[in-house]
Amino acid sequence: MSMVKSFVTAIGAHLRTLLSGISALMRLIGIVAVCLVSREGTIRTRLIARLTAPAGLRLGFDVLRAFVPNLALRRKVIVAYDNVGTAVVARYQDVKDVLHRDRDFEVVYAPRMMRITDGENFFLGMPDSARYTRDVSNMRLAVRRDDVTALVEPFAIRRASEIVKQAAGRIDVPQDLSLQVPAALLGTYFGTPGPSVRELIEWTTLMFWYLFIDLAADIELEKRALDAAARCRSYLDELIQQRKRQPTDADDVLNRCLIMQRAGLPGMDDLGIRNNLIGLIIGAVPTVSKAAVNALDQLLDRPDWLSSAQTAARSGDDALLAAHVFEALRFNPINPVIFRRAARAVTIAKNTLRSLDVSRGTMVLASNLSAMFDPMNIAAPNSFRTDRQQDNYILWGDGLHTCFGAHINQVLVPSILKPLLTQNKLRRAAGELGSLDCKDTPFPVHMWLEFDPT
């Protein structure tokens, strides 16, 4: 009976995938038709805006999962890193498979990471190796799991509460809150406050953009990012020397690294400390801010779930609040795809009807957004639910190169939003001010909200 039940379940999942794909295709045709007859802007501008919006991307991946779940393209979608072509992977199982086969599908960030550090790689751009293990292990000793509840969470809630209180009923979420809290955390927890919060935000944003999002190899962006990297290196070099000349008793990441240096741990010389700090702070500000704003934006589009999240925040049910935030983020994660490059000729989904052979050097776009909406593995994927298992989410990567700070982000993002969600009548500001505005960048720049202070 169990075999029959499994067969029926599998048939049902395949049928749901097919029907979802057909429905999505019809809706995409409708979007194209609307864009063709609209008079606002050019047809191309309208199509790009609609089809690259979170809802448009989800429809596109619905179609791919149903009809071409593993798609090979001769075109180089990413030109910032060497490759010979592109493959798009849309099914949950295949996305997971690509991200866990690190010897077959390699990370590609090393060349740009080495430009940022002016010579050295960071473990995010390394293969599984002795050097990778050494550097990750060192930084795990400096950035400890128990810091999350002991240091990170209380600081984030306290600082976010101060900001919300000072806002007095009107707040630009990215500029006033979601960028400010993680930037301030770098000062107190990492020990790297920067010359100013503004400069720290600018540096980390430009370097992250250059490393992970600049797929078209924008020359002007490269100049700005490498200038920011040079200023960041100079600042950290001087900071390390200052700490050594004038030691402090602060229990922060920098001091922990210097303790390991004095103990003679390999990889903890001044250059090693500086490069590891650069690698960590790059992802600490813009990604956290984007995650917080994207999640809040999705909740605001769902008044019932916004009310439910606010109830959880007010009652102190942090686990339920986090469940709301991560489910909201599933609908618009900080990145819709995670890219890897085939290190050798390999097969994706071998021995299945969707099997795809990819040649060495192919850039593989494993869509975590698509995977999180795959009806083959995700129950009621288009429904907003707060009872999902953690393996339903691929928000911080997966496998060997899962985001180093994932355990911090899982607490930091809800903590940033918690004080704001406790406010009465939380709502978007009128007109375009209340919409998420990226100002021609990959990151939220403005989103004005209003509330009645508690």
Structure tokens at 103: 């010897």
Residue 123 within any structural domain of the chain: yes
Residue 48 confidence (pLDDT): 87
Residue 369 within any structural domain of the chain: no
pLDDT mean across residues, the chain = 95
Q: Which residue type sits at 246? A: Q
98-121 mean pLDDT: 95
Residue 8 confidence (pLDDT): 61
Closest CA to 62 of 13, 116, 25, 104: 25
Residue 421 confidence (pLDDT): 98
Can you give the residue range of the structural domain that contains 419? 110-336+380-452
Q: Is the pLDDT of residue 184 over 90?
A: yes
- Distance, in Å, from the CA atom of 280 to the CA atom of 283, rounded to the nearest integer, reads 6
Structure tokens at 9: 């379940």
Residue 40 confidence (pLDDT): 80
Which residue shows structure tokens 């990145």? 335
- Distance, in Å, from the CA atom of 97 to the CA atom of 105, rounded to the nearest integer, reads 10
- Distance, in Å, from the CA atom of 385 to the CA atom of 396, rounded to the nearest integer, reads 19
What percentage of residues in the chain have a pLDDT greater than 70?
98
**What CATH number corresponds to the domain at position 273?**
1.10.630.10
Residue 271 confidence (pLDDT): 96
pLDDT tens string 250-294: 999 999 999 999 999 999 999 999 999 999 999 899 999 999 999
Which residue shows structure tokens 């720290």? 200
Helix (H) or strand (E) holding 277: helix 270-282
Instruction: Categorize the per-residue pLDDT at 37 as very low, low, confident or very high, splitting at 50, 70 and 90.
Output: confident
Residue 371 within any structural domain of the chain: no
Residue 54 within any structural domain of the chain: no
Q: Is 192 helix (H, G, I), strand (E, B) or coil?
A: coil
Give 145-153's long-range contacts (Cβ < 8 A, gap of 24+).
145/407, 147/189, 147/408, 148/407, 148/408, 148/411, 149/411, 151/189, 152/185, 152/189, 152/408, 152/411, 152/412, 152/415, 153/411, 153/412, 153/415
Residue 7 confidence (pLDDT): 56
- Distance, in Å, from the CA atom of 421 to the CA atom of 342, rounded to the nearest integer, reads 43
Residue 298 confidence (pLDDT): 98
Residues with Cβ within 8 Å of 220's Cβ and at least 6 positions away in sequence, in order, are none
Please give the model's pTM, rounded to 2 decimal places: 0.94
pLDDT tens string 218-254: 999 999 999 999 999 999 999 999 999 999 999 999 9
Q: Is 242 helix (H, G, I), strand (E, B) or coil?
A: helix
Report the chain's terminal Cα–Cα distance, integer Å: 57
Residue 407 within any structural domain of the chain: yes
Q: Is the pLDDT of residue 1 over 60?
A: no
Q: Is the pLDDT of residue 4 over 70?
A: no
Number of domains comprising the chain? 1
390-411 mean pLDDT: 95
Residue 68 within any structural domain of the chain: no
Residue 3 confidence (pLDDT): 62
pLDDT tens string 187-213: 999 999 999 999 999 999 999 999 999
Q: Which residue type sits at 413? A: V
Q: Is the pLDDT of residue 409 over 80?
A: yes
Residue 39 confidence (pLDDT): 78
pLDDT tens string 295-341: 999 999 999 999 999 999 999 999 999 999 999 999 999 999 999 99
The β-bridge partners of 348 are 356
For residue 322, CA distances in Å to 52, 67, 112 come to 27, 34, 34
Residue 453 confidence (pLDDT): 86
In this structure, of 19-33, 37-51, 80-94, 412-426, the range with the lowest mean pLDDT score is 37-51
Q: Is the pLDDT of residue 41 over 90?
A: no
Residue 344 within any structural domain of the chain: no
Structure tokens at 401: 């190169």
Instruction: Categorize the per-residue pLDDT at 6 as very low, low, confident or very high, splitting at 50, 70 and 90.
Output: low
Residue 129 within any structural domain of the chain: yes
